[in-house]
Amino acid sequence: MSACANAAGRMQAMAVGMLADLREMEYRHNEDVLGDLLKLDHCTAQAGRLADSIAVLSGARTGRRWTKPIIMESILRGAMGRISAYRRVRLHSTCTAAIVGYAAEDIMHALAELMDNAAKFSKPSEDVHVHVEQLSSGVVVIVEDAGIGMKPQVLERAERAVSTTEPLDLVALSGTRLGLAVVGCLARKHQLRVRFHRSPRGGVSAVLRIPELLVTRPRSEDEPTVRNRRPVEERPPHSAQSTPQTQSARLPKRRRGQTLVSSPPPRARHRVETKPRADAGARFNAFRAAVRPDTPPTTAD
């Protein structure tokens, strides 16, 4: 177990380093290679999730830690960015709460495993719907699919895997299905409650309840605005993993007391006429130009 934990830690460090390099390249290169970089970014994020799963099962921790609360929208999009079928996930959330920093990464990982299961066990043409509701006892997240459902014995085994009272039994794991075992480890760590029910759409609804102890209010500067509430389809895969820390670091800033009149004029932009593209690289290039106005655009009007 110790050897596996150490190996998982090295894999986590490699994945985080590769992601950092890819993010830097994405902002340095134009859209000719941006789409390919985004695909590599997404694949690396999935590899990092697998390394995190191995670490959790071997008694280690997930790879990241946050020092401030993370808003629920970033938690959900971070989970989406770590699964291959992120385009099929539909979010239905008006929750304005945040998750305390020390638990944010684990909850993000648990939701990613539940979303991945819902996508894998339903038809590629079916969407996975995620509903979020804030209650006085915490936050409830429902991951609903329209898949093949669960037989009673399979449902009982799944409930046992995510129970907060049942200890982890690695011998009982079969094949490559590690997701529910990882969710169970994280549930026992943070006292999360996970239940499975039959979905009205014919599949399974996984209900994750986050206790009130882990729920807090976001800081005023971290609250989502109308500008960054974009549809899921318009965001690149890795933006789902962006947190208020990374978003605020990329936005242009003006010194306190400096007015728009006294601000220096923007630099002249050199427009390069290229063929318009509609892939992820082109969409992210437009997003990048919006948040970094000093970056010359690379697409034609």
How far apart are alpha carbons 130 and 80 in whole angstroms? 10
Residue pair 218/69 in contact (Cβ under 8 Å)? The answer is yes
Minimum mean pLDDT among 2-6, 95-99, 234-238: which range?
234-238
pLDDT, residue 50, reads 87
Which residues are within 8 A (CB) of 127 and not within 5 positions of it... i.e. 6 or more apart? 88, 89, 90, 146
Place of tokens 């770590």: 82
| Helix 31-57 with 2-28: angle, nearest 10 deg | 160
pLDDT, residue 127, reads 92
pLDDT, residue 133, reads 92
pLDDT digits 0-9 by tens, 74-121: 999 999 988 988 899 999 988 889 999 999 999 999 999 999 999 988
Q: Count of domains in the chain?
A: 1
How far apart are alpha carbons 168 and 185 in whole angstroms? 7
How far apart are alpha carbons 122 and 147 in whole angstroms? 4
pLDDT, residue 242, reads 45
Indicate whether 257 belongs to any domain. Answer: no
pLDDT, residue 30, reads 78
Neighbours of 14 (CB within 10 A): 14
Indicate whether 255 belongs to any domain. Answer: no
* Arithmetic mean of pLDDT, 255-276: 45
pLDDT band at 143 (very low <50, low <70, confident <90, very high): very high
pLDDT band at 69 (very low <50, low <70, confident <90, very high): very high
Phi, psi of 192, rounded to the nearest 5 degrees: -80, 150
What is the SS3 assignment for the chain?
A: CHHHHHHHHHHHHHHHHHHHHHHHHHHHCCHHHHHHHHHHHHHHHHHHHHHHHHHHHCCCCCCCCCCCCEEHHHHHHHHHCCCCCHHHEEEEECCCCEECHHHHHHHHHHHHHHHHHHHHCCCCCCCEEEEEEEECCEEEEEEECCCCCCCHHHHHHHHHHCCCCCCCCHHHCCCCCCHHHHHHHHHHHHCCEEEEEECCCCCEEEEEEEEHHHEECCCHHHCCCCCCCCCHHHCCHHHHHCCHHHHHHHCCCCCCCCCCCCCCCCCCCCCCCCCCCCCHHHHHHHHHHHHCCCCCCCCCC
Q: How far is CA 272 from the centre of its chain?
A: 34
pLDDT band at 292 (very low <50, low <70, confident <90, very high): low
pLDDT, residue 64, reads 75
Indicate whether 271 belongs to any domain. Answer: no
Indicate whether 254 belongs to any domain. Answer: no
Mean pLDDT (the chain, rounded): 76
- Most confident among 52-61, 80-89, 174-183 (mean pLDDT): 80-89
pLDDT digits 0-9 by tens, 181-211: 899 999 999 999 999 988 888 888 999 999 9
* Arithmetic mean of pLDDT, 26-35: 81
Q: What CATH number is given to the structural domain containing 36?
A: 3.30.565.10
* Arithmetic mean of pLDDT, 37-52: 87
Q: Domain residues for 15?
A: 2-221+231-243
* Arithmetic mean of pLDDT, 165-191: 81
Minimum mean pLDDT among 39-53, 65-79, 106-120, 171-185: which range?
171-185
Indicate whether 268 belongs to any domain. Answer: no
Indicate whether 290 belongs to any domain. Answer: no
List the Cα angle 22/25/29 in 5-degree steps.
140
pLDDT, residue 219, reads 73
pTM of the entire predicted model: 0.70
